[in-house]
Homo-oligomer: A and B are copies of this chain.
């Protein structure tokens, strides 16, 4: 399957290319998660069995069950990777005392970078929209909620007008991001993902600025 996102150079790197020495158990766990992320992407979550994951991760059934109770536990851990990306990107915006439109842009730029470099975050984002995984819906809702907080802060600071377009901004940015990642996965994309997300944010932010107050 074509998944060109991860071949693109991200704007910021959130994953260390030179990892510190890890204990063997952590290495095994990461190997299992990476194999599961690939298998869920290629065959879909429900079609992938624990037996498939044993084969894909070159692990043993015992090795997998040492780390995870079930296939759903692996999916939950991948969703957690996406939630962590959300949390880190949000925390980074909270470091400065002033909150503004720049925070919204850097938040989505960081998320784009996470999705571009991390197959775990990318799988987690996709699984967050699946049915039947505990915590998935919550992770998706958390994304819309923290984006709404960033938008509210930019309205508060006076940088964004409080109109009907701005009130849909958080939804439209998350929808545009999710939809773009999906189209790239399904039909492939010749373009640069992080630049594309930057342009999408620019389009929506200028629409807020130029919309009538209503």
Contact = CB atoms under 8 A, between A and B. Distances in A.
A175 B174 CA distance: 10
Interface string A167-200: 0100110111111101101110101000010011
Nearest to A131: B44
A189 B1 CA distance: 32
A132 B40 CA distance: 11
Contacts of A140: 183, 186-187
A45 interface: yes
Contact of A47 (B46, B165, B176): B46
Nearest to A47: B46
Contacts of A191: 168
The number of times this chain is found in the oligomer is: 2
Interface in A114-129: 128-129
Given A46-B46, A132-B44, A132-B47, A176 B174 contact: no
Contacts of A206: 207, 210
A130 B183 CA distance: 11
Contact of A178 (B137, B164, B182): B182
